[in-house]
Structure 1
Amino acid sequence: MKRVIVIAAAAALTAATLAVPAQARRPDTAPGEGRGGGYVVLYRRGVSAADARRAVLAAGGTVTRENAAVGVATVTATGPAFADALRADPRIEGVARDMVIGRVPQRSAPGHAGSAGAAGTGGLLSAPTPRVGTASASEPRAALPAPAGAARTDDPDAADSGASVLRPEPLAVRQWDMRQIHATVTGSYRRSRGTHAVLVGILDTGVDATHPDIEANYNAGLSRNFTVDMPVDANGKELDGPCDQEPDKSCTDPATVDENGHGTHVASTIASPINGLGVAGVAPGASIVSLRVGQDSGYFFLQPTVDALTYAADNGVDVVNMSYYVDPWLFNCTDNPADSPEERRDQQTVITAVQRALDYAHDRNVTLISAVGNGAGDYTKQILDTSSPDFARVAGQRTRNRLIPPSCLSLPSEGDHVLAISATGISGRKAYYSDYGDGYVFAAAPGGDVYDTPTKTQNITRAVLAAYPKSVAEKRGELNPDGTPRIADIVRSCRGRVCGYYEYLQGTSMASPHAAGVAALIVSRYGVPDPAHGGKTLAPDIVERRLRTTATRRSCPVPPAYTYVRRLAGGGEITTTQVCEGTSIRNGFFGYGVVDALRAVS
């Protein structure tokens, strides 16, 4: 089992520190508007924010963004000796290189590619899903009849969930994932559909607030964007693209957009409403709060993660979903000989800063749920990391191979208080790509597996279907002139003249929102009035216990060494063997079992 690095408790923040708002502020110098190097600076516990800022200034830096609640700041500096000088100051606990700050390229670059389901898009945890070039027809209005004897619900939690008579949504026949966890009109929806009083934070690439299968549950008042678009990295590689290509010509997007699609898919799985259009989420009556921490290109950096977690805690968010890892290191190590001393210091700062934010959120009744990752590796064993650092923060930095001992941490999934969710396929087996590990995986949930078929050849309908921004589909050329999809990955559903688009994706990114949706149902059903923020609240430890005790137990395969076979369209096949360790109570593939929406609220 992995050794967990515990951050020792220190002195409480001073009153002066707490007086500075914890909510993120827009930097004075945004990426694309100046020159210099970016750093994340960790203030020492017990040191006031004012004193820490003086230390930064004395070392030659400027604080452009500050989170006083946990003592983390984004700093710009031009001098090469800045980091070493600041590390020597007793008021500072850690310094890590962060994002590059450079000028926007003067000439337009080609639009960046990048499906949310593609590999190599930063910290996103969607596994590669093959794109299929066959046209897909729009879905008819009523794909399923109403079930016989559909009952009215007497659940007060469902007050905001729409009509009292339950009928399947038009695309319910495609939602094998919801049937697997009994989130259906004959399952959990009849007991509880969640309530708008429960807030689910989507820490992701944003959420398309205009999507017709999301907008009814989107909380615009609380949603925030904690990111700034980054045109290129330190090696000149295009990331988010030039800001002058954005509709508003700005490097800072509104909180209502998702120019990637990943966050919208996650939000839809959690809380698409029952409205006679498209799909329904696990908790179709819960509120969606978009806390954008991911770049358009799929990278997730430290400061936005810290800011979003503390913002969620300060504003009464009940559950957060984190389907990503904090870039640039898939694994953060403090003692790995494969890393330079400076890289080890950087990674220690990431570990400490993220854990402070996780502790802050957990202590304020935020249930923390994360995806386990898509590397098909056992996190309790030595792993070869071939993807880090995946973002060049200094010129010449390149991805390299690193042997990772079990003491290293992938964050946020391996942080204290975080419930890490693995992915299952339609048959119930662990998905071929899902990471695993006895003691690492808390529970499992449907994430999709396009090779989980009798023939072991890819079938896109074995992935998870959820909402997709029309604007992204148009930008990627995936729609015909009449609005119908050009590829089978995408499905259109219409209610009269209102149409929504939906995309098949697979990954542990798709698994964890199912667990987050069940957590939202638990808070809706068993929560108590929140005197500080209104709505409902429930201690994360109670939510965790309910998730654990109501999960459907899944034992390891027999034999425990399971061989996955993927037959390729062009001939040949790929085989991999993964070993499940543990017991029928908890094991490395399924944790305590597959989450179950109906049992959780019964």
Structure 2
Amino acid sequence: MVKRGRVLAAALSVVSGLAMAGPAPAGAAPAGAAPTTGPVAYTVLLAEDGRHDAALAAIRAAQGTVLRENRALGLVVAESSAADFAERVVVPGVLGAARSRALSRSGGSVGRDLGVGATVADVTGYSPAGPSRAGAVTAAVGMDPLDAKLWGLRMVRADKARERQPGDHRVRVGVIDSGIDATHRDLATNVDLAASRNFVADIPNDVNGVVIDGPCEFAGCVDPPGHDDYGHGTHVAGTIAAAANGSGTSGVAPGVTLVDIRATQDSGWTFLQPFLDALTYGADIGLNVINLPFYIDPWLYNCPDNPADTPAQQLEQRITIEAVNRALDYAHRKGVTLISPIGFAHDDLGHPNPDTLSPTFPANSAYTRQIDGASCAAMPIEGRHVIGVSGLGPSEGKADYSNYGLPEVELGGPGGFRKDGLGTPSFDARENQILSTYSRAAATGKGWLTPEGDITPLGDAQGMLKDCTQDGTCSFFRWAESTSRAAPHVSGAAALVISQYGIKNRGGGRISMNPASVRHVLLTSARRHPCPTPRLVSYAGIGRPPAYDAYCEGTEWHNGFYGYGIVDAYAAVTRRHP
């Protein structure tokens, strides 16, 4: 599969008029649309031809109400009770409309539009326990007690890099994920709560009554920034920039600032509109780096014209590709370096296997689709300007779960691989995974911790670790593995590069660096790693079926397992670059 360098506007224009017409293809699953029992929210993508006012008029004529606009991306969030709104809104100037699962009121969603992002002050009755970072400077020099367990830090030589460059607090890294637990001892001083935003509202149940996020924890079903009920975002954040404070763990870039720009539900789903809103916001406030999710629900691969999909589903996927690429372009122009995990489906993105997971929402709506690698795209990883990261184990071999392929993989990073080291004492050890910070709220909600903070047997099986200081203050960590654990190592390295080489503005409050220059430094300083011998890797020895077999294409300088090499934070901040 190729990086999407082309705009799909023309294709959208051709098909949008037919998008809602015609029967579902044979064997296709239902589109998953809820009965129109009340207002339904839509992401309406406008053409880039200047017919803005006519497009808004068409939305109103189709019995739609404009909730807000995102002029940076050329889209409108609208709602309508008309069952045929998506058909009627297709006119010159409008490329199409796709149901916004995160905003639609039917089927249990709370129906709140958080396009501007919820702040801490917006959540009634919530007061953060941890301090907000307001220009504080972390003295990040030494290593923390649990860092001895972080083989990933050593693989990317972040331990040596901090002797030269621990990270500048003026460099800000956004995390588009499930949130960041800003009360965690290793994160509290590094998270800028004032700049953080939440772009999602909890969805208690889906259209079929299946529990999604469950009962709402806060008034209005909106969690505050600095809160994480899923745990994934907190784990990512700790690898990037947990503080070097003499306790727990530290991150690759312990001196930089983290910004929580949440776009993921408590249950782990990431839908299109919150993702677009979070990425636009991150670009507008001048973030230097944004760590992205691998894909956007409900499509693992977005296919413009897959015959297994209905016309409505095809249009939705076209809109996703075009809208995400617009958002990536916008962030890139604003100076944001974009990092994404390559994915965890043990798939060659250049020659993908059939997709049996999509659509991922609502529950039980997936069906099998053949995937054309030339036209289908996993977004945002295959979008423009995104640095894709594969997942490696301690032996530097590709982890069994990690996707791979050219040209999507640009760097390899430590993602964890529990079953690495077959035939050695380290085989199947949890220490082969990645240890990082974890949200207490998430662990308690999943039954991994008791309300008093003790690890349960289930929590122990899930890799939970508890670390307490002499004063009795305890924080929580977890062993885990995925390419989502590899990408933060690269995001942290990117933050170090900007800290080292970035341009300081006259007022001294910001540092900036062209994303193309950041990419150049990361790729040229990476430690080259050739394909294994033999190139076809089998994971049968650890019980994996032939579907996990992976063939490494390319050369020592650029291949489908390692891209341009394993990210090297120390080389990145110490070498001269042309």
Which TM-score band applies after superposition, normalised by the shorter structure? 0.7 to 0.9
Pair 1:492–1:349, CA change in 2 (3 A): same
Deviation at 1:484, TM superposition (A): 3.6
8 Å Cα contact 2:393-2:420 kept in structure 1: yes
8 Å Cα contact 2:107-2:208 kept in structure 1: no
Q: Could you tell me how far apart the structure 2 residues matched to 1:556 and 1:94 are?
A: 43
The match for 1:601 is 573
Which ranges in structure 2 are unaligned for 5 or more consecutive residues? 11-33, 111-134
The answer to whether 1:351 aligns with 2:321 is: yes
The equivalent position to 2:41 in structure 1, one of 27, 31, 38, is 38
Secondary structure in structure 1 of the residue aligned to 2:298: coil
The equivalent position to 1:403 in structure 2, one of 350, 365, 370, is 370
8 Å Cα contact 1:327-1:391 kept in structure 2: yes
Secondary structure in structure 2 of the residue aligned to 1:502: strand
The answer to whether 1:453 aligns with 2:456 is: no
The match for 1:225 is 198
Secondary structure in structure 1 of the residue aligned to 2:65: strand
How do residues 528-543 of structure 1 correspond to structure 2 at under 5 angstroms?
Answer: 528-530=503-505, 534-543=509-518
Q: Could you tell me how far apart the structure 1 residues matched to 2:411 and 2:496 are?
A: 16
The answer to whether 1:192 aligns with 2:165 is: yes
1:350-407 deviations in Å (ceiling 9; x for gaps):
1110000100000111001111111111111142101000012xxx981001110112
Deviation at 1:476, TM superposition (A): 2.2
Pair 1:197–1:400, CA change in 2 (3 A): same
The equivalent position to 1:204 in structure 2, one of 174, 177, 182, is 177
Q: Which structure has the highest helix share of the two? A: 2
Q: Could you tell me how far apart the structure 1 residues matched to 2:78 and 2:364 are?
A: 20
The answer to whether 1:490 aligns with 2:464 is: yes
Q: Could you tell me how far apart the structure 1 residues matched to 2:291 and 2:370 are?
A: 29
The match for 1:375 is 345
Deviation at 1:411, TM superposition (A): 0.4
Q: Give, as a single letter, the amino acid of the residue that structure 1 aligns with 2:47.
A: R
How many percent of aligned residue pairs carry the same amino acid?
41
Q: Could you tell me how far apart the structure 2 residues matched to 1:423 and 1:387 are?
A: 21
The match for 2:404 is 436
Q: Give, as a single letter, the amino acid of the residue that structure 1 aligns with 2:520.
A: R
Deviation at 1:39, TM superposition (A): 1.7
The answer to whether 1:273 aligns with 2:246 is: no
Deviation at 1:312, TM superposition (A): 1.3
Q: Could you tell me how far apart the structure 2 residues matched to 1:475 and 1:230 are?
A: 16
How do residues 565-580 of structure 1 correspond to structure 2 at under 5 angstroms?
Answer: 565=540, 567=542, 574=545, 576-580=548-552
The answer to whether 1:316 aligns with 2:286 is: yes
The match for 2:556 is 584
Q: Could you tell me how far apart the structure 1 residues matched to 2:54 and 2:109 are?
A: 37
The match for 2:28 is none
The equivalent position to 2:155 in structure 1, one of 177, 180, 187, is 180
Deviation at 1:483, TM superposition (A): 3.1
Which ranges in structure 1 are unaligned for 5 or more consecutive residues? 11-30, 107-157
Q: Which structure has the highest strand share of the two? A: 1
8 Å Cα contact 1:35-1:103 kept in structure 2: no
Q: Could you tell me how far apart the structure 2 residues matched to 1:554 and 1:592 are?
A: 8
Q: Give, as a single letter, the amino acid of the residue that structure 1 aligns with 2:197.
A: R
How do residues 16-31 of structure 1 correspond to structure 2 at under 5 angstroms?
Answer: none
The answer to whether 1:418 aligns with 2:371 is: no
Aligned residues: 514
How do residues 143-292 of structure 1 correspond to structure 2 at under 5 angstroms?
Answer: 160-162=137-139, 166-184=141-159, 187-243=160-216, 246=217, 248-292=218-262
8 Å Cα contact 1:269-1:466 kept in structure 2: yes
The equivalent position to 2:105 in structure 1, one of 96, 101, 104, is 101
The match for 1:111 is none
1:287-307 deviations in Å (ceiling 9; x for gaps):
000100101111111111111
The match for 1:86 is 89
Secondary structure in structure 2 of the residue aligned to 1:278: coil
Deviation at 1:482, TM superposition (A): 5.8
Deviation at 1:101, TM superposition (A): 2.1
Secondary structure in structure 2 of the residue aligned to 1:420: strand
Secondary structure in structure 2 of the residue aligned to 1:64: strand
Deviation at 1:273, TM superposition (A): 0.7
Q: Could you tell me how far apart the structure 2 residues matched to 1:584 and 1:326 are?
A: 32
8 Å Cα contact 2:198-2:224 kept in structure 1: yes
Pair 1:173–1:238, CA change in 2 (3 A): same
The match for 2:529 is 554
Secondary structure in structure 2 of the residue aligned to 1:443: strand
Secondary structure in structure 2 of the residue aligned to 1:216: coil
1:535-585 deviations in Å (ceiling 9; x for gaps):
100000000000000101111011100111454xxxx66563210000001
Q: Give, as a single letter, the amino acid of the residue that structure 2 aligns with 1:493.
A: D
8 Å Cα contact 1:200-1:286 kept in structure 2: yes
8 Å Cα contact 1:104-1:242 kept in structure 2: no
Deviation at 1:94, TM superposition (A): 2.0
Q: Could you tell me how far apart the structure 2 residues matched to 1:424 and 1:561 are?
A: 16
Deviation at 1:69, TM superposition (A): 1.3
The answer to whether 1:62 aligns with 2:73 is: no
The equivalent position to 2:305 in structure 1, one of 304, 321, 335, is 335
8 Å Cα contact 2:62-2:85 kept in structure 1: yes
Deviates more, 1:363-372 or 1:303-312: 303-312
8 Å Cα contact 2:55-2:93 kept in structure 1: yes
Deviation at 1:3, TM superposition (A): 6.3
The match for 1:2 is 2
Q: Could you tell me how far apart the structure 1 residues matched to 2:264 and 2:506 are?
A: 31
Deviation at 1:7, TM superposition (A): 1.3
Q: Could you tell me how far apart the structure 1 residues matched to 2:432 and 2:311 are?
A: 45
1:180-231 deviations in Å (ceiling 9; x for gaps):
11111xx111011101100100000111111111011101111111111112
Deviation at 1:481, TM superposition (A): 6.9
The equivalent position to 2:357 in structure 1, one of 368, 377, 387, is 387
8 Å Cα contact 2:9-2:47 kept in structure 1: no
Deviation at 1:502, TM superposition (A): 0.3
Pair 1:532–1:507, CA change in 2 (3 A): farther
1:398-436 deviations in Å (ceiling 9; x for gaps):
100111011200000000111111110011001110001
Deviation at 1:168, TM superposition (A): 2.4
1:30-89 deviations in Å (ceiling 9; x for gaps):
x9xx933332111222446554333211111122343121122222222121101111x2
Pair 1:565–1:173, CA change in 2 (3 A): farther
Secondary structure in structure 2 of the residue aligned to 1:368: strand
8 Å Cα contact 1:453-1:459 kept in structure 2: no
Q: Could you tell me how far apart the structure 2 residues matched to 1:159 and 1:297 are?
A: 33
Q: Could you tell me how far apart the structure 1 residues matched to 2:360 and 2:507 are?
A: 40
Q: Give, as a single letter, the amino acid of the residue that structure 2 aligns with 1:595.
A: V
8 Å Cα contact 2:107-2:207 kept in structure 1: no
Deviates more, 1:532-541 or 1:199-208: 532-541
Pair 1:389–1:159, CA change in 2 (3 A): closer
Q: Give, as a single letter, the amino acid of the residue that structure 1 aligns with 2:443.
A: A
The match for 2:123 is none
* TM-score between the two structures when normalised by the length of structure 2: 0.85
8 Å Cα contact 1:316-1:533 kept in structure 2: no
Q: CA RMSD in A?
A: 2.4
Q: Give, as a single letter, the amino acid of the residue that structure 2 aligns with 1:322.
A: L
Q: Could you tell me how far apart the structure 2 residues matched to 1:177 and 1:426 are?
A: 8
* TM-score between the two structures when normalised by the length of structure 1: 0.81
Q: Could you tell me how far apart the structure 2 residues matched to 1:498 and 1:562 are?
A: 46
